[in-house]
A and B are shown apart, each in its own frame.
Chain A
Amino acid sequence: MLVKINSVANVGLETVPVDVEVDVATAGFPGFTIVGLASKAVEEARERVKTAIINSGFDFPPKKITVNLAPADLPKDGAAYDLPIAIGVLIASGQLVPPKELTEGKMFFYGELSLDGTLRPTRGILLLALFAKHKNGSMIFVPSPSAAEASVVSGVTVYPVAKLTNLFGHLMSAEPITPLAHTKYKISDDEELIDLDLKEIAGQEQAKRALVIAAAGGHNVLMWGPPRTGKTMLAKALPGILPPLTDAEALEVTRIFSISGLLPPGIALIKKRSFRSPHHGVSAAGIIGGGTNPVPGEVSLAHLGVLFLDEMPEFPRSVLESLRQPMEDGEVEIVRVAGHVRYPASFTLIAAINPCPCGYLGHPRRECKCTEKQIAKYRHRISGPILDRIDLTVLVAPVEVEKLSITKEHTTNNLTSKEAKTVVVKARAIQSKRFKGTSLYTNSQMRNREVKEFCHLTPEAENFLKLAAEKYDFSARSYMRLIKVARTIADLTAEDTILPVHMAEALQYKQLT
């Protein structure tokens, strides 16, 4: 007898329906074959399915069993086909009578089996739910540890399956499984979304201000300063002051995490902006994404969040150069044997560099041990095109102990993340009004044309900019960058035109020379 079970395959962030056809032949030598471009993990499903069926108290038919995963030309990977194959075998061998919905193609099965018949967490559940949603009245049967991620999708019934026997009972209408209640996504309390509050960082007023500007205008930041001055801490505080994720954004981020298998069990939706800090030993494939069946890289995991590159010059040049496409387009395109995938990768970059290889150039108390040549070489490792995409440069100088007095309150510059976020959200609202009808969202995305259209400077501000350009010998690019930053600073105070004070403050964050 031949049965057809519905399942899916995830190629990148796209989901393709896969028919799992199981045939238990009446004639022929006993055997178990899986065809349909199955990877090693799928091949091994034979042993898992066989043992799980037997250990769950069913019979494994000693007959010739053929499994076909259609479409046959699409490479399939992962252990998620264990469950559909097992169900197929049980039906085809006559042990289970398929319900009407199954034969109508409304039931989807997806999940990895353990040898004892329990289901293990499986990646990509959210993508399955989003796919099944488009078919009316669909039901999905997924491992209960990962079921939560599917519960955010409305219009689909999610059945969390703990064991193969439970599923058997459900399909035989003996012991129905209660479907998972749909969880409505709502950020009610954003306190928990802050990992590290700005006010916990002592000193570094200017760097904190730069973070607020960066969050408001979507600008990338370069922090430079000796080791142990708080660069990492500052970077970690940025996700907490970015505006909260919208429903659609949260779903987008969750999709990426779901396909990477990084979604913690029981977590339905990622509401926090991500913070990714890859080590400088990372490969280009690790940062951009890759593998024969391409998985998202760090840039995509940092989507709508923060990508922090500590000690940026230590990263291989190829890795840094590969950041150019995502920084420009907000997505990456990966081409591998298995096909062609696109992952979103729109992130805020925070780069940290030491002033020189030893780290102590310009330190008030320690002398630098580097030669001019070493310093020049160190700085040259970051190419111009990358630096051109970083709007804010800020010094993170060592804070002297006596200035870190705990007893003294410095309230003027002691912003909490919550306060900062309120200001940022307001500035973003101004920008979305400004860019209505264009493809832009933030000031940092403006090109020269938009800068001319949206950035009106008072004559004094323009005059100041000209003086500065003369003094520091600015390139046309630096000039535009400065105006963009000034635009954001003006937005933070809800000012329509850019005043000299805004321009002057923007100059504080000019590139290193």
Chain B
Amino acid sequence: MLPSKKVGEWKTHPELVRLKDLPSPPKELFYSGTWNPQLFHSCVAIVGSRRMTDYGCRVIEKIVPRFVFEKKTIVSGFMYGVDQYAHQVCIENGGKTIAVLGWGIKRELEGADRKLAQSIVSSGGLLLSEWEDQQATLWTFPVRNRIVAALCEDVVVIEAAVKSGSLITANIARKLKRKLWAVPGPITSRTSSGTNALINQGYARMWLGDEPTQVPIMKDPLLQLIQENELTANDLARKLGKPVSEIGAQLSLLTITGQLTERGGKYYVSEN
């Protein structure tokens, strides 16, 4: 278990002033890690479904590094799926992140959770909770969400179904007059139905990432195809009408030289 401390008289801390916006602010606050008031200066909440799809994964990989570059702190809820992946990508890109736990700070963590908690703390981030020894139950997660929303200026919903914890966070953020963003998704995907609804109802602004810059024109027909759409070796062999052995070799070469990234058998043009 990581050593934890109580935030003495949190209401006197100027960096936590945002929490006072809440109609029911937490009574106490506990944390693990090194308290650094700078962390709370400019926060972005990344929230989303526990059942993250490949798309959600890609979205996080695209937007989190940008926030890190802008020196923003990523705040999320430490649940598997979108939350944990956001924490992880943030740390991998050298950023700092705050995890607001849905249970007491002294609760023992296991396996991958423990590893992630350790790396959050060792990278200069914080674990935060309003309880000391509360067990995780159904009601603790939505309650924790209000802190996530309150701490941040911007709240970005990556993926969320229509009835989900992420939409609770989004609602609270709206009531607290935080800037709410939602990432549009395929209308066929259940995990994007919530985010799409937020945009449709006008509650959230649509997050489209960077302004599209001039896309460099690739000479290689294979790279051109992949730039348009992520594809598997099979798709490429079909589209280009070449033997799959040749396509496979070419893909491996491009991956090793860093021009392409492979995940789950699909190839993407590497970012940056």
Identify the A interface with B (CB < 8 A): 203-206, 208-209, 355, 361-362, 364-365, 367-369, 371-373, 376, 395, 397, 399, 403, 410, 412-413, 464, 467-468, 471, 489, 500-502, 504-505, 507-508
Contacts and interface: CB of A to CB of B under 8 A. Distances in A.
Nearest to B54: A362
Contacts of B245: 209, 489, 505
B232 A505 contact: no
A413 B238 contact: yes
A282 to B, nearest CB: 30
B209 interface: no
Interface stretch (B23-31, B169-177, B187-195, B197-205): B187-195
B238 A205 contact: yes
Interface stretch (B101-109, B215-223, B248-256): B248-256
Contact of B244 (A209, A364, A397, A403): A209
A505 B234 contact: no
Contacts of B249: 500-502, 504-505, 508
A413 B265 CA distance: 18
A471 B190 contact: no
A415 B124 CA distance: 56
Nearest to A505: B249
Contacts of A489: 245
B3 interface: no
A373 B264 CA distance: 18
5 contacts: A208-B244, A371-B50, A373-B111, A468-B252, A471-B255
Interface residues of B, number: 36
Contacts of B51: 367-369
Nearest to B159: A367
Nearest to B251: A508
Nearest to A400: B235
Chain B interface main SS type? helix
B112 A471 contact: no
A208 B233 CA distance: 12
A144 to B, nearest CB: 51
Smallest CB-CB A-B distances: 8 pairs:
A395-B265, A504-B249, A362-B264, A504-B252, A205-B244, A508-B248, A507-B252, A505-B249
B115 to A, nearest CB: 12
Nearest to B241: A412
Given A372-B84, A373-B112, A505-B245, 10 more contacts: A205-B237, A206-B232, A208-B244, A362-B266, A364-B54, A373-B111, A397-B234, A403-B235, A504-B250, A508-B252
A371 B243 CA distance: 37
Contact of A395 (B238, B243, B253, B264): B264
Given A395-B265, A501-B249, A410 B241 contact: yes
A223 B123 CA distance: 38
A205 B189 contact: no
A361 B51 CA distance: 10
B53 interface: yes
Contacts of A367: 51, 53, 189-191
Contacts of A505: 245, 248-249, 252
B13 interface: no
B163 interface: no
A352 to B, nearest CB: 15
Given A205-B233, A205-B244, A365-B188, A468 B265 contact: no
Interface string B84-114: 1000000000000000000000000001100
A205 B253 contact: no
B116 to A, nearest CB: 10
Contacts of A369: 51
B55 to A, nearest CB: 9
A302 B255 CA distance: 38
A57 to B, nearest CB: 70
Contacts of B252: 468, 504-505, 507-508
A206 B243 CA distance: 9
Given A368-B53, A504-B248, A203 B234 contact: yes
